[in-house]
Amino acid sequence: MYALPDLPYSYNALEPFIDEQTMHVHHDGHHATYVKNLNDVLSGHNELLNIDTKELLKSLDKVPEEIRTKVKNNAGGHFHHSFFWRIIKPNGGGEPKGRLLELISKNFKDFNSFKEKFKDSALSLFGSGWTWLIVNPDGKLEILNLPNQDSPISVDKTPVFTIDLWEHAYYLKYKNKRADFIDAFWNIVNWEQAEKNLNS
Ligand SMILES: [Fe+2]
């Protein structure tokens, strides 16, 4: 069985950048529903209920075809949200350090150019989805838009950090102003966690 992880901070800890009400709806509503739906769709498939979501997303071809899309959407939703809660934190922001900053500078010129490119990409994502910073098997960083709950894990990319661009992530506070949400997001990025993801 899959379980909803607690947030690693309180619901109001990301104020004023992400408001308390959004965190409740997002975690207790949306994320919880992905977990419930994943358990429901996998009931009777015990061998798939006991592996972690990352393994599930890496080997979707092993999932019976008639439930594959539901598994992809809900395992993606569960894994991506669990990942997202850890990639943000109260008093985050600033700049990445160490190997992550080196690679960002190498791939995108410098941190500010990277931020601009990431924001442009996030603004260009049509509909619901996520913008990812991923590292390829050859060590090169890349910014990637993926729709819905399609996962970088399923296409052999290692996620470093991400922003949730489903309207449920920002609409209560930012309404249709996705750009304002992205600007605010830089204040809560947990760059230490991003570097851990890079090195994992
Ligand atoms: Fe979300």
Residue 111's pLDDT band (boundaries 50, 70, 90)?
very high
Domains observed in the chain = 20-87 (1.10.287.990), 98-199 (3.55.40.20)
Q: In the predicted model, what is the mean pLDDT of residues 128-141?
A: 96
The β-bridge partners of 163 are: 131
Dump pLDDT digits (tens) for 30-83: 999 999 999 999 999 999 998 999 999 999 999 999 999 999 999 999 999 999
Work out the angle between the directed axes of helices 178-185 and 111-124 (0-180°, nearest 10). 150
Write down the mean pLDDT value for the chain.
97
Residue 164 Cα to ligand 1 midpoint, Å, equals: 6
Q: Quick one: pLDDT at residue 37?
A: 98
Q: In the predicted model, what is the mean pLDDT of residues 152-156?
A: 95
Residue 5 Cα to ligand 1 midpoint, Å, equals: 14
Q: Indicate whether 198 pLDDT > 90.
A: yes
Q: Indicate whether 14 pLDDT > 90.
A: yes
Residue 182's pLDDT band (boundaries 50, 70, 90)?
very high
Q: In the predicted model, what is the mean pLDDT of residues 16-42?
A: 98
Task: Locate 105 and state its tokens.
Answer: 């500078």
Give pTM, 2 decimals: 0.97
Per-residue 3-state assignment (H helix, E strand, C coil) for the chain: CCCCCCCCCCCCCCCCCCCHHHHHHHHHHHHHHHHHHHHHHHCCCHHHHCCCHHHHHHCHHHCCHHHHHHHHHHHHHHHHHHHHHHHECCCCCCCCCHHHHHHHHHHHCCHHHHHHHHHHHHHHCCCCEEEEEEECCCCCEEEEEEECCCCHHHHCCEEEEEEECCHHHCHHHHCCCHHHHHHHHCCCECHHHHHHHHHC
Residue 182 Cα to ligand 1 midpoint, Å, equals: 14
Task: Locate 192 and state its tokens.
Answer: 């230490």
Residue 109 Cα to ligand 1 midpoint, Å, equals: 30
Nearest-angstrom CA–CA distance, 188 and 186: 6
Name the one residue in this structure whose structure tokens are 């050859």. Answer: 138
Residue 195 Cα to ligand 1 midpoint, Å, equals: 22
Q: Indicate whether 200 pLDDT > 90.
A: no
Q: Quick one: pLDDT at residue 113?
A: 98
